[in-house]
């Protein structure tokens, strides 16, 4: 049977597809522009998007298991609800949904609240799904590496509570394992939640210290000016998204993004290897300079 991956051209989606292909799964992807996709020849490509009902119905034909990843866009919530309703209509009883950790806590942050709404739908509609709840992506910091290396500061206002940052390679592999576990089960499996975290819970000062160590020169953490953070983001994204990111950073500062007891051990056992650490990421950047 076929596993459909949405969001397949993004950072996490590509990791999921790669992990599935390496395990000889029958993979289909839904993409807006097939000419810009460069998947292995074994991957079936369907053109469409999550707001196009006809293309979704076509993409779901013959699919047994769905990986649902919605980008952070203004209509993310609508996309997810449409995708899940149509999956139910198509008889798909095996789903892995990429949510976010603490979606039930960060209730004022739009893209967190939207994902929590999707989780509630999954529960209320009794859909058979694994809900993956990743923490902040380590890979997000690729966008600020030049600020770190050229200006000597770590600019993300993440506070002193700590974030259990996770590498997208770990997300992709856990997602693939869950998709295959559900795909290969004789019966649809009940709802399960998995927090996806990294091996370390890091503060802004911790991350600045890591960069200081791997670069061999002082990197500062300037603190929690979320208003300036929002203004800087406006150079790269629409205002609604910049404000969404500001609200998220303010919850980082007040709440942190902490793992539950046993999360790291559970993931380490599932992957049968150590989790990728932020230091690995920073060291790789430092070695490329």
Averaged pLDDT, 220-246: 96
Calculate the CA 148 to chain-centre distance. Answer: 23
**Which runs of consecutive H residues, i.e. helices, occur in the chain?**
11-22, 53-60, 76-89, 110-124, 145-151, 168-184, 204-215, 226-233, 239-255, 263-271, 278-288
Contact criterion met (CB below 8 Å) for 259 and 270: no
For residue range 167-193, what is the model confidence (pLDDT) as tens digits? 999 999 999 999 999 999 999 999 999
pLDDT for the residue numbered 216 = 97
What's the chain's average pLDDT? 97
pLDDT-derived band at 289 (thresholds 50, 70, 90) equals: confident
Residue closest to 101 by CA, chosen among 203, 197, 226, 198 = 197
- Helix/strand/coil for 221: coil
pLDDT for the residue numbered 36 = 77
- Helix/strand/coil for 35: helix
Give the orientation angle of helix 11-22 with respect to helix 168-184, to 10 degrees.
Answer: 50
Q: Which CATH number fits domain 2-134+168-196: 1.10.287.70, 3.40.50.720, 3.40.190.10, 3.40.309.10?
A: 3.40.50.720
Task: Classify residue 34 by its DSSP letter.
Answer: G
Q: 96: which 2 tokens?
A: 């892995």
Q: Per-residue DSSP letters for 118-180?
A: HHHHHHHTT--EEEEEE-SBGGGGGGGHHHHHHHSB------SS-B--B-HHHHHHHHHHHHH
pLDDT for the residue numbered 171 = 98
Averaged pLDDT, 221-241: 96
Q: 22: which 2 tokens?
A: 């390496």
Residue closest to 141 by CA, chosen among 199, 211, 200 = 211
Give residue for tokens 């095996």. 94
Q: 269: which 2 tokens?
A: 């056992």
State the CB neighbour count (10 A cutoff) for residue 273.
11
Q: 109: which 2 tokens?
A: 């942050």
Report the alpha-carbon distance of residue 164 to residue 207 in Å, rounded.
Answer: 12
Report the alpha-carbon distance of residue 161 to residue 107 in Å, rounded.
Answer: 18
Contact criterion met (CB below 8 Å) for 260 and 203: no
Domain locations along the chain: 2-134+168-196
For residue range 31-64, what is the model confidence (pLDDT) as tens digits? 998 887 889 999 999 999 999 999 999 999 999 9
């Amino acid at each position: 049977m076929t596993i459909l991956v949405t969001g397949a051209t993004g950072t996490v989606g590509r990791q999921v597809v790669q992990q599935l292909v390496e395990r000889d799964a029958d993979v289909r992807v839904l993409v807006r522009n097939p000419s810009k996709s460069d998947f292995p020849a074994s991957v079936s490509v369907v053109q469409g998007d999550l707001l196009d009902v006809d293309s979704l119905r076509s993409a779901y034909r013959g699919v047994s298991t769905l990986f649902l990843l919605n980008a952070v866009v203004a209509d993310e919530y609508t996309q997810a609800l449409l995708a899940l309703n149509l999956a139910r209509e198509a008889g798909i009883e095996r789903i892995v949904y990429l949510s976010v950790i603490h979606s039930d806590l960060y209730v004022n942050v739009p893209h967190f609240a939207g994902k929590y709404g999707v989780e509630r739908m999954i529960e209320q509609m009794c859909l058979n799904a694994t809900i993956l709840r990743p923490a902040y992506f380590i890979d997000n910091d690729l966008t600020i590496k030049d600020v770190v290396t050229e200006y000597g500061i770590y600019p993300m206002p993440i506070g002193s509570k700590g974030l259990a940052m996770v590498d997208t390679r770990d997300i992709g592999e856990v997602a693939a394992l869950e998709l295959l576990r559900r795909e290969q089960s004789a019966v649809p499996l009940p709802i399960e939640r998995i927090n996806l975290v990294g091996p370390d819970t890091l503060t802004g000062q911790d991350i600045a210290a890591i960069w200081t160590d791997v670069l061999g020169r002082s990197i500062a953490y300037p603190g929690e000016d979320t208003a300036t953070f929002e203004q800087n983001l406006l150079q790269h994204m629409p205002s609604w998204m910049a404000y969404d990111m500001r609200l998220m950073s303010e919850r980082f500062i007040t709440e942190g993004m902490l793992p539950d007891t046993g999360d790291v051990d559970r993931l380490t056992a599932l992957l049968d290897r150590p989790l990728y650490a932020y230091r690995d990421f920073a060291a790789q950047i430092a070695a490329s300079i």
